[in-house]
Every structure is written in C-alpha cells, then in structure tokens.
Structure 1
Amino acid sequence: MFKSRSQPIQSSEITDESVWRARRRLFLQAPGALALAAGLPGLAQAVPVGQALSFNPSQRWKLDETPTSEADVTTYNNFYEFGTGKEDPSRQSGQFKTEPWTVQVDGLVHKPLTLDMDQILKLAPLEERIYRLRCVEAWSMVVPWVGYSLSALLKQASPMGSARFVRFETAAEPETMPGLRSRILDWPYVEALRLDEAMHPLTLLATGLYGKSLPVQNGAPVRLIVPWKYGFKSAKSLVRITLTDTMPESSWMKVAPHEYGFYANVNPDVPHPRWSQATERVIGSGFFATKKATLPFNGYAEDVASLYANMDLRRYY
C-alpha cells in the first residue's frame, strides 16, 4: 500500500538488508539486467568482502601443490598502502571501502570502459586457478585465486594497433590507507606490463581467493596476478587500466630503478642488490625450514619463456 509522507513507516515494513541484497543479485542475473544496471547510477556495488563466489576449477592453470593456509595468505602481505610490516595490511585495512567500485579502461582503445564490480564479475566465467606467488624478498606461497584472464577485459576495450603497454593504477585513499602518509613511494601505486604479457592467458584479473571474494589486505575488490613475475608486479585494488604506446614508469622503478626493473621476471640467476634470488622460503613451512630452489619464471617457463626470446634477461631484469 502507498503511504504518504505524513504516515510513518513501521519497522516491520522495512525490508531486511540481506533480503534486498539477495533480490538484487537475482535481478542482476536475469537476461539483460547487466545492461540495464549499467545505466542506473547508484545500483553498482562490489561483492562484500568474504562472500562466496561461483566458479569452475581451471582445467589448464593448476599446480599440483598444496595451497598455503588461508590464515597465512591473509595475514602475511605486502601492501604498503596499509603499512610496511607483513601483518600491517590485515591489521590496518578495516576502514577501507570496496563498495561501490569502478575500474576505468582508457588510453589507446577503441572502446573506453568504466566497469562496476557487477559487470566485472560477469564479464567472463570465473575460474579457480592455483598459482605460485614469489616475492622479491625471497618468500613464496601457493594461492587458489578466483578470476579470469585479463585478456577478456582488454578485448572488450578493443586495443588500438599502436598500443604496446598496459599501465595499472591502484586506489589511493589517505583517509583509509594509513601507509599513504609515508614517503616510501609516490602514490598512487603504478605498475605496467607489455601488452603481450597482459594478454597472455596466465595473467589473471583476480576477484577472490579460497572461493571467496578478496579480503582488503589481498587487494579487494579486484587485482592483477602475474604468476611468473615477482609479486610487486601484481597490482592490488585496481581503479584504472590505461593502454599506451610508451613504457610507463612503475612505482618501484621510479624510486629504485637499480633494484626493480620493468620486467621483474622471476630469475634465480639475477640477484637483488641486497640478497640472492636463487632460493626461497615457503610461507607456512617454518622460518628454519630448508629453503627450496627458485625456478626460472617461477615455474612457468614452458608457458611464458617465448615472450622473451633473444632478450638479455640480466639487462632487462
């Protein structure tokens, strides 16, 4: 029944939040609903942190290794926007908001896009891909990510023939990201790939891990995963993707080019100026556990080595 403004609404008549969210999800799953939602400002919301995702196991990109525990993956992180300590992101990210969220795709594309999270989640079938993650500090973990190949998104934007690189820009919100007060990097965080690297099917646009939407400390609501490169290449909390004809200067290149090159391919034969990359410590195995040998391209050489044929990987580190 219609009620005028002079008639108070009883609490029993107010739809519970969980009910209207469930109805909204059903609406968006209906044919044509995605296009309708795109034209209605205010509808777009990210999937709440920790919500279960529907996905299919990957038949191609799967490691025969036991995943690192969820507790370790969600509490041992590099995410300097929330602090430089490994436990800082899980402790200091509670105020960061992922709803609503949009990602802009622009630059040398025929079809610039601005996508909300509902559109991103429906752009391609979600898969669970168990990838090895290797960080430049010589530690590694195995993570069951949920997402799909970044190429699915880039193809929607229709790259121009002159596009050669892809620049990724991440969120920078001083009110909720205490690490931005530091002068370690020039915020916002920027990373980049060659276009052929970005279009490789291994390169993942991730929206979840362990079957659930991403926690903030792991890059919610959407991030990049490039498993054959060191972890700093896999930018978190993406807000803008720009295609360009010139090589972008990434954040770590800008502050320490002698330590962090553009390519950052995992290479046991090229040491970091301050430590070796020949071995790695597997997170969860114990600090005094025997280290394991680092694999070229983090174990993905069969899939990606051809991208760098005839390149001097000591020079292009």
Structure 2
Amino acid sequence: MAYRWTNDLTSADVTPQAAFLNRRQIMAGMAGAGLAAMTGGAAQAGEGLEPNSWEDVTTYCNYYEFGTGKGDPSANAHSLTTSPWSVTIDGMVDRPGEYDFNEILSEMTIEERIYRFRCVEAWSMVVPWNGFELADLLNMAGVKDGAKYVAFETLYRPSEMPGTQYRVLDWPYREGLRLDEAMHPLTLMATGIFGKPLPNQNGAPLRLVVPWKYGFKSIKSIVRLTLTDKEPPASWNMANPGEYGFYSNVNPNVDHPRWSQASERPLGGGLFARRKPTLMFNGYEEEVAALYDGMDLTRFY
C-alpha cells in the first residue's frame, strides 16, 4: 500500500486563509478550526504550481449532464439540488450502506486538507482542491479481501440535468479505479475549491480527483461507490474504447487517435498561449509510477 503522509507541523506553520486565497502559498492544508498549514506529501507533487483563477476553474468545465459546451455547466448546473446528499457504498465492503454526506464530512474534518493539483483535458489548469483521501472513506466502509477495483457512479436526475435528454453517453456516468490507485494518498474526494464548497458545475457536493489521469476520470457528484473484483465499466471507455482506455493516465508518449498528447495549452493565456510539454503522469511520476511497474502503458492506456 502507498505511504500515508504524517503531519509533523506545529502552530508556528499556520498560514492565514487570506494568504492562501491571495495565491501566495505553494500548498496549504486544512485542519479542524479552518486553519491552514503547509502539507508534506501533497506539496512534493504540487510544489510551485500557480492556481488558475476562480473564473477559469468554475466556467471552463466538462459536465455533460448539463451540456457539452465548456460554459454549459456553469450556466445550467444551478438547477442541481445537492442537499440532502448521500453516498451508497456497497459490494465487497464490511459496512455497506447509505452514508449521509454531512456524516462523512464530520468523520473527515480533522483530515481535510487543501491540495493544489494540475488537471489536464484539452487545456490544462491548476486547481486548489480541498477534500480528504479516498482511502479514508474506503477504510470507513471496510474493504474486504479480494476487492480489486472501485466503481463510481454519478447522480442521474434528468429533471435537473438538461444534458441527459441527449444520449451523448450511456447515463448515469460511471468510472472506476484499481484498488491500489484508489488507496493512493494523492487520490482525493474533493469537497471544495479555494477553501470554499464545490460549485455545482465542478461536481458538488463530492467528486473524485485523480491528478495523474485525464480529467474525465475524476467523476463528479458521486452517489455510489462499489468495491468489486472485476474491472468496472467506465463511461468514455464504453462509448469509444479505441480512444479512451480504462486507465487514462497522462502519457505524452501515447497519442489520442485524433491528436497528439505530447503537449498541452495552459488555460488562462488565451488562444495564443504557448503550449508546454506534457509531463508523464501529469508531473506525478515520482509518486505514482510504481503503481504500473511491468505494465505496457501503450496497451493499458
């Protein structure tokens, strides 16, 4: 199992929230009373990353349940009811059931931290997520021996999701991770951005963030997690397996059939923003490459 970061900081390391929101800190962590402190393990992967603006992060979104245009989610997602909210955890777990979102948060408050991670899709951006490790939620439910994967499912509520009237995908949206990927300390259940609750268009109230994979793997508005011993279905992989593999790791050496993935254009610099070389595993190679030792990454893309 991957290492878990241990907090060895003191009150002298506390950073005021205003300083974080002014984007003057490299990485911040959250603890009980809303105090922020520099984090260790997460900082190694996110050091030096300057976040995009609130406007960039909240208006350039992929959330097809609200439309296929990048601006559609921010225009339409206000219709989504996110409270009350519950998450069903089932399959190969010791304590299956329906978990109330607020009860989950009450269990995770002490561990909640802010992580600054890059997200890569057609453009790349840097988002300061706040949330907790997915491993903590899985440990709460208790993973049974023999489980190998985690399957995720997004809310499907056509009355509030205008994009679902179109069969762009086979609704509800589904994703999956191998168990060791899910238990890695960089795999987050995000509850907010910039220290604030998640806006609807960004996947409120609870979404996955897997920073070394392409953005569509980070499923939004999660209502179900299922532990299983079989590779679960993933929406884009089902829709077009020739273009979207199950793993979807950021790999500049494996092109999408219709475009190169060797470079990326940072969001926020306009149409003429200079492209940058895409980094293996989105810059988190040191942290996650061992998960794929011995795998042919051109076959398992």
Q: Return the TM-score normalized by structure 2.
A: 0.86
User: How large is the Cα RMSD of the aligned pairs?
Assistant: 1.1
Q: Residue 305 of structure 1 is aligned with which of 284, 289, 295?
A: 289
In structure 2, the partner of 1:54 is 34
In structure 1, the partner of 2:71 is 87
User: 1:158 offset after TM fit, Å?
Assistant: 1.1
Task: Tell me if the contact between 1:68 and 1:143 (Cα under 8 Å) persists in the aligned partners.
Answer: yes
Q: Residue 287 of structure 1 is aligned with which of 267, 271, 285?
A: 271
User: 1:123 offset after TM fit, Å?
Assistant: 2.1
Q: Residue 225 of structure 2 is aligned with which of 241, 262, 265?
A: 241
Q: Encode CA deviations 1:70-95: one digit per residue, 9 max, x unaligned.
A: 10100000000000000000001111
1:225 aligned onto 2:209: yes
Matches of residues 146-157 of structure 1 in structure 2 within 5 Å? 146-157=130-141
CA distance in 2, matches of 1:156, 1:56: 25
Letter matched to residue 91 of structure 1 = A
Q: Residue 257 of structure 1 is aligned with which of 216, 223, 241?
A: 241
Task: Tell me if the contact between 1:123 and 1:153 (Cα under 8 Å) persists in the aligned partners.
Answer: no
CA distance in 1, matches of 2:187, 2:35: 17
Matches of residues 34-73 of structure 1 in structure 2 within 5 Å? 54=34, 56-57=36-37, 58-62=39-43, 63=46, 64-73=48-57
CA distance in 1, matches of 2:248, 2:80: 29
In the alignment, structure 1 segments of 5+ residues that lack a partner are 1-52
Does the residue aligned with 1:140 lie in a helix, a strand or coil? Answer: strand
CA distance in 1, matches of 2:266, 2:50: 11
CA distance in 1, matches of 2:36, 2:186: 16
In structure 2, the partner of 1:131 is 117
Q: Return the TM-score normalized by structure 1.
A: 0.81
Does the residue aligned with 1:81 lie in a helix, a strand or coil? Answer: helix
Task: Tell me if the contact between 1:56 and 1:126 (Cα under 8 Å) persists in the aligned partners.
Answer: no
Q: Residue 93 of structure 2 is aligned with which of 109, 112, 118?
A: 109
In terms of Rg, which structure is larger? 1
Sequence identity percentage = 55
CA distance in 1, matches of 2:130, 2:211: 14
In structure 2, the partner of 1:180 is 164
CA distance in 1, matches of 2:199, 2:177: 24
CA distance in 2, matches of 1:218, 1:249: 22
CA distance in 2, matches of 1:226, 1:186: 22
